[in-house]
Structure 1
Amino acid sequence: MEHPSRSSSGWLVAADIGGTFTDVIALGPDARIVPVKTLSTPPDFGTGVLDGAVDALRLAEAEPTDVTGVLHATTVATNAILERRGAKTAVVTTAGFRDVLEIGRLRRPALYDLSWRKPEPLARRRDRHELAQRISADGSVPIPVDEGELRRLARQLSGDGIEAVAVCLVNSPLVPDEERAVADALRALLPGVYVSASVDISPEMGEFERTSTAVVNSYVGPVVHSYVTDLGAGLRRRGISAPFSIMQSSGGLLDARSVAGKPVQIIESGPAAGVIAVQKLARLLGLDNVVAFDMGGTTAKASLIEHGRPFVAGDYEVGGGMNRTRAMGKGAGYTIRVPSIDIAEVGAGGGSVITVDTAGAVHVGPQSAGSRPGPACYGQGGDSPTLTDANVVLGYLNAEAIAGGRVAISPALARKALEPVAGEIGKDVLGAARGAYEIAVSNMTSAVKAVTSERGRDPRDSVMVAFGGAGPLYAAELARELGIGKVVVPVHTGLFSSLGLLVADTEYQAAAPYQPEMRDLAVLAGQFDVLREQVRAGLAPARTEAITFERSMDLRYRGQRFELRIPLPDGPVDERSLVATFARFHEEHLRTYGRASGDELVEVANLRMRGVVPNPVRIDRALALPPDEGRSPSSRVCRFATDVTTPVIRRTQLDAEPKPGPLVVEDMDSTTLVPPGARARLDTHHNIVITWNDSEVPE
């Protein structure tokens, strides 16, 4: 799999689908950037990608044959789960384990909500089937699979109209070929049915997590396969035949064909691309600890990058609402155990709907107006008040058009939508709009705290990098609330996730459960060698000499349920490297949980190998300023604590000398708000740097 960005003689096209906008960036061989922002096109999101790509090439005056790579971040897998329109899925498991999905981990995200109900499993109980086979805990197979039983099962699945199957045998990670044989037999007996073997998706012990992951993979498999196939065909019809890669939840690119075989790994595709862009920018700027803050049309997301690396979650959930907490809030969605950048999320985006409950309290989100019909001010038939409408009323957004003139704005419609909210709470429209803004800021603090203070990190030790179409409107106030003294707003901020695709590395990961015989260091080293070859094969036919390998171990104390992922030092696997790894585990456990114990209590759960083909495209190549429209500075009245006449400028009208707020800085793809008490300047990479006066930042 040749990384598409290796060619320096053509154009790269990167596309990221959001809840409201689809963002496309074309990067030329001379570092020319052509950004395009267009409304998303649900339910056929691929149309927006194709239209945006064609528009970008037209603006670039480039031909489709000039494209050397297409890079994509998509929500198609997530949407299939949220909208419950995945494949009709069956589960094949060991006798006695039919109800693993219901039993789960007995966790409630809302402890005192008596009306809460667990989500319905993606595979109905009637579609979960047991085999009279057994793999013992020691890896022996006392009862092998009966071929006649498999043939009878296949006939039943066919008669039931099953479209996808997840094979999840108990203890199968110890004898993976046993489960793969069942999956291969079902593929042969059920042509056209999508079949997943859990050991090929999540080869780790833990029956619930492995079963849930395999079921999600099968449930979205046909949808993702169809989407990837259709999008590839659409690109070819438009003359684009370049390699096509998709962002994984872990932050690495992988070719579209491999993704179609393991679609569960792209659930967090879009958010991961944005975090990777921030990671690359942080390295360029020499920033050690960074909070990545992404706010788009539907949600606001936060992630922590520490010492140049984003945190990677061992498992996460999808389909259970917004991910606001790291542990106690789990249990509301479908568990997925694949490598994923750890991202906290709340329902606060530009399209988030403002409501008033029966007690008179104002709420922002999680409902969203999306792109169809969108906020009321878009004039597309929407009448629900949203944060975008509030920002227009407050004077923060251009009262004529946004997204480079592609979306017209009607202040009258924005005010009309907010009038009922103002009436219910007894305020004027401006007061209601400002109240909604402040509530949104408060909501977003929970996402940042989830990845910082709830992990034992002080947010005040970090710099915030804000991006997304709406992120720069809220970042300064959010940073002040958290005590963060500096905010960086990069160029192309509204399309920053697409920019992340341009600079992301190609990546493949493999894992294996730790087994007792691996106490022998030679056996342990041999297992890492096996994982290395799996990764090398997964990245083929990339240039093998370009691959860098990273080893890690999932460690925990005896009796614990959760692990911490700790890197293994480079060099031979010996007593010295294990001592260093265990010492780092103790340090991380103390920092995260406030306590640590001795080496004799440490258990190894899993071994991991990550292979990376570095991307030669550096982020500084993609940070060129777009053409300046040359508009003169103007001003408009903005509501803060009071009404203030506020200068409205372009990014290019800032320089190295800090300018005091309030300021509104308008780009094609976003708007940055610099409140009173803050200052803004432009650094050498065209980033807007916002700082607060010392007296304005809480200790």
Structure 2
Amino acid sequence: MATTWRVGVDIGGTFTDIVLLGSDGTVHTRKISSSVDDYARAIVDGLAALLAETGIAGHAIAEVRHGTTVASNAILEHKGARTALITTRGFRDVLEIRTLRMPRLYDIAWDKPPPLVERRLRRVVDERIDARGRVERPLDPVAAEAVVRALLDEGIEAIAICLLHAYANPAHETLLAGIVRRLAPDLPLSVSSEVLPEIKEYERTSTTVINAYVMPVVARYLRRLRSGLDRAGVPARLSLMQSNGGLMAAEAAAARPMHIIESGPAGGVIGAQAVARIHGLSDIITFDMGGTTAKAATIESGVVARAAEYSVGAGIMVGSRLLTGAGYLLKVPAIDLAEVGAGGGSLVRVDAAGALKVGPESAGAVPGPVCYDSGGTEPTITDANVILGYLNPCHLVGGAVKLNADKARAVFERRVAAPLGLDLARAAHGAHLIAASNMIRAIRAVSSERGRDPRRFALFAFGGNGPLFACGMAEALGMRRVIVPPSPGLFSSFGLLYAETEHHYARSFRCLTRALDLAALNEAWESLADQALQQLAAEGFRGEAARLERTAALHYHGQSFELAVPAPDGRIDAAGVRALEEAFGAEHERTYGHRAGADEPVELVSIQVVGRGIRRDFTLPERTSTCRREAAIPQRRAYFGPASGWIETPVLRRGDLAQGADGPLIVEEYDATCLVLPGWRARIDEGANIVIDR
């Protein structure tokens, strides 16, 4: 049987990572510079070069899967479409009022980010529907058309429509949308009752506006990418990674780009879930460390933790995850990630009080760490790791990048060690430990702050720098196992290959569980299921290939925030309602450490359906093997803190761990370096993962 291939492509600000996975388990990889002026060009050129190098024919590619930052960059750089908003009279300034949440409690100089729609392009219509969907003041079609025409005269590039309580009755939004489509049929249009029929006015408005703001940008990008792939002789279907970890067809992504805003970090988490499932691991914490930031997420009982909303452009997490309000809010499901400003390029400095600080500022790709010898003048974590002997000055990225260790030592001595009165090794090791402690905050944010004990999880480390810090972080947290997958520096691209198609649907259904209209509830869930099945069928998923999952969001009556729990299959009866209440109570206790008594009323807030499409045309291999071969590397001295000092440390390849080896040791690969501390033992399992046990 001929080998078929999937392609995973992940774009970063500096590099574009391409991974080819064959149905026989063969893996080919390529890391190339991103083409910032047109990200699609680097993908097409890099894939064409890789196919030519390997001799793989373009028609053997079954699917190209892509994680992209195009939409999020458009928001961060304010380079989206010139968008207009039509809303109910009295609600013109919802985007500026927001929810009054402050990300920095004591910073009076903090300013809210500017709205994505300027005030002159926010227009109102005189209408009113109440929270139960009853029309209190009808929408005048003539007046509505005048508003639309006035906006079209402004030369807008997209329109968002969000009227009060449209989630309960979309009639007025439907009328407005019809006017827009009649007057400007090709204008990108985002309607709240279509994209997010849920309660909460700011969240719904913000999400609807973001969707409209990036629609033209994403559509243009996907057209260029599709055209480029066709010219390169790769007619394979194109799928995009969503923020929630599922895939969606390129056509669906162009219509609902709000789902791919944070597609970049999702791939690695989904890949970790797949690897963990194959090898019988149910509870893991993923740790992805690159050059600027580190991210953590949890997978519990095989299920990825997801958040119901998140903020775009909110910056990195520098304090408690409860301090929200920065950035632009998106109320769509997303992998629940915590992020800190700690990476290989994080700057190391001594502050005015004489304390050693690491990050969140980064040297970035340009000029980069001092040891890159590209003009950097500030010491970084990568410089510290070179000084400590953890990184090989001659081996970074397979030897393609030569590091200047002497420059790293000189700047660290002058800027860090001397001001602190420490010898060079102690100062560099201190910086390494502080970076690790910063990243531990991200792991605690998704574990202990969520009521989960990190000690019962394994730490799954990837990214260019993740395997270098994982052992020390696990030791500090009391975790006893670390897993490093093959190609860890390219693992976000690799993870794309294991994702499945997903579509998420939700609607508000607010009612005390004791007063639920079960017929109406079941009808609402069936309506969402029909939407999911229709979308899956349009993408070729029918019968056993189309699967549905249901969840419900509940809270105790009077609470402001809800928790989502799985809902029973089939029609919900009184026993099903009790099961929902019990599941909510258990989740509340796990998250917050307590639950209310049996008499406390529980309120259903919203219901959700997830439709999953399972591909049958590509068999995922249980074992992969890279085609890259690396030469043996001599051992070198490495520093392991004041207690152990400098140790002559073996430097191995992944394949050298077949019989296991005790730390300290260093495992060097093309795209990452793995550090195994004293007191830990490393081996490779049947899937070529490095498993490190305490």
Confirm or deny a common fold (TM above 0.5): yes
Change (3 A) 1:324 1:292: farther
Deviation at residue 368 of structure 1 after TM alignment: 3.0
Task: Judge conservation of contact 2:541–2:614 (CA < 8 Å) in 1.
Answer: no
Larger deviation, residues 553-562 vs 367-376: 367-376
Deviation at residue 515 of structure 1 after TM alignment: 5.1
Deviation at residue 347 of structure 1 after TM alignment: 1.2
Taking the aligned partners of 1:158 and 1:69, their CA distance within structure 2 comes to 39
Aligned counterpart, 2:326: 332
Q: Per-residue displacement from partner, 1:502-560 (whole Å, max 9, x unpaired)?
A: 11111111111105699221221111111111011222232311111111111111001
**1:137 maps to which of 114, 131, 145:** 131
Larger deviation, residues 142-151 vs 253-262: 142-151
Task: Judge conservation of contact 2:292–2:346 (CA < 8 Å) in 1.
Answer: yes
Taking the aligned partners of 1:366 and 1:199, their CA distance within structure 2 comes to 39
Which residue identity is paired with 2:548?
F
Taking the aligned partners of 1:507 and 1:478, their CA distance within structure 2 comes to 33
Aligned counterpart, 1:164: 158
Taking the aligned partners of 1:231 and 1:363, their CA distance within structure 2 comes to 42
Can you give the 5+ residue segments of structure 2 that lack an aligned partner in the other structure?
A: none
1:554 matched to 2:549 = no
Which residue identity is paired with 1:640?
F
Deviation at residue 620 of structure 1 after TM alignment: 6.7
Aligned counterpart, 1:120: 114
Q: Per-residue displacement from partner, 1:397-447 (whole Å, max 9, x unpaired)?
A: 221242234434333444455455325545455444322211110110110
Q: How does 1:9-158 map to 2 (within 5 A)?
A: 9-158=3-152
After TM superposition, the score normalised by the length of structure 1 is: 0.93
Q: How does 1:226-625 map to 2 (within 5 A)?
A: 226-323=220-317, 327-415=321-409, 418=412, 420-422=414-416, 423-427=418-422, 429-514=424-509, 519-539=516-536, 540-545=538-543, 546-597=545-596, 598=598, 601-615=601-615, 621=621, 623-625=623-625
Task: Judge conservation of contact 1:21–1:371 (CA < 8 Å) in 2.
Answer: no
Which residue identity is paired with 2:534?
A
Larger deviation, residues 449-458 vs 233-242: 233-242
Task: Judge conservation of contact 1:377–1:413 (CA < 8 Å) in 2.
Answer: yes
1:672 matched to 2:671 = no
Deviation at residue 324 of structure 1 after TM alignment: 5.4
Task: Judge conservation of contact 1:503–1:618 (CA < 8 Å) in 2.
Answer: no
Q: Per-residue displacement from partner, 1:277-298 (whole Å, max 9, x unpaired)?
A: 1111121222221111111222
Larger deviation, residues 440-449 vs 372-381: 372-381
Change (3 A) 1:541 1:682: closer
Which residue identity is paired with 1:675?
L
Q: How does 1:611-650 map to 2 (within 5 A)?
A: 611-615=611-615, 621=621, 623-627=623-627, 629-641=629-641, 642-650=645-653
Which residue identity is paired with 1:469?
G
Taking the aligned partners of 1:341 and 1:19, their CA distance within structure 2 comes to 21
Q: Per-residue displacement from partner, 1:374-408 (whole Å, max 9, x unpaired)?
A: 33433444444332233223221221242234434
Q: Per-residue displacement from partner, 1:305-363 (whole Å, max 9, x unpaired)?
A: 11110111111112111135675211122111001111111111223333443334333
Which residue identity is paired with 2:525?
F
Deviation at residue 660 of structure 1 after TM alignment: 1.8
Deviation at residue 567 of structure 1 after TM alignment: 0.9
Deviation at residue 213 of structure 1 after TM alignment: 1.1
Deviation at residue 56 of structure 1 after TM alignment: 2.7
Taking the aligned partners of 1:413 and 1:189, their CA distance within structure 2 comes to 64
Larger deviation, residues 263-272 vs 59-68: 59-68
Q: Per-residue displacement from partner, 1:464-504 (whole Å, max 9, x unpaired)?
A: 11111111001001111111111011112111111211111
Taking the aligned partners of 2:358 and 2:325, their CA distance within structure 1 comes to 23
Deviation at residue 223 of structure 1 after TM alignment: 1.8
Larger deviation, residues 548-557 vs 124-133: 124-133
Change (3 A) 1:192 1:620: closer
Aligned counterpart, 2:689: 687
Secondary structure of the residue aligned to 1:590 is helix
Change (3 A) 1:616 1:481: farther
Which residue identity is paired with 1:627?
C
Taking the aligned partners of 1:488 and 1:45, their CA distance within structure 2 comes to 32
Please provide the CA RMSD for this pair. Answer: 2.3
Aligned counterpart, 1:697: none
Aligned counterpart, 1:695: none
Deviation at residue 600 of structure 1 after TM alignment: 5.2
Deviation at residue 146 of structure 1 after TM alignment: 2.5
Task: Judge conservation of contact 2:242–2:266 (CA < 8 Å) in 1.
Answer: yes
Secondary structure of the residue aligned to 1:514 is strand
Change (3 A) 1:26 1:406: farther
Secondary structure of the residue aligned to 2:264 is helix
Deviation at residue 41 of structure 1 after TM alignment: 3.4
Which residue identity is paired with 2:279?
L
After TM superposition, the score normalised by the length of structure 2 is: 0.93
Deviation at residue 191 of structure 1 after TM alignment: 5.2
Which residue identity is paired with 1:168?
C
Secondary structure of the residue aligned to 2:245 is coil
Secondary structure of the residue aligned to 1:174 is coil
Aligned counterpart, 2:205: 211
Deviation at residue 218 of structure 1 after TM alignment: 1.8
Change (3 A) 1:93 1:43: same
Deviation at residue 208 of structure 1 after TM alignment: 0.8
Larger deviation, residues 431-440 vs 236-245: 431-440
Taking the aligned partners of 1:619 and 1:662, their CA distance within structure 2 comes to 38
Task: Judge conservation of contact 1:198–1:210 (CA < 8 Å) in 2.
Answer: yes
Task: Judge conservation of contact 1:479–1:487 (CA < 8 Å) in 2.
Answer: yes
Larger deviation, residues 399-408 vs 266-275: 399-408
Secondary structure of the residue aligned to 2:393 is coil
Larger deviation, residues 678-687 vs 396-405: 396-405
Can you give the 5+ residue segments of structure 1 that lack an aligned partner in the other structure?
A: 1-6, 693-699
Deviation at residue 263 of structure 1 after TM alignment: 1.0
Task: Judge conservation of contact 2:87–2:161 (CA < 8 Å) in 1.
Answer: yes
Taking the aligned partners of 1:665 and 1:11, their CA distance within structure 2 comes to 29
Change (3 A) 1:62 1:380: farther
Task: Judge conservation of contact 1:513–1:606 (CA < 8 Å) in 2.
Answer: yes
Which residue identity is paired with 1:446?
R
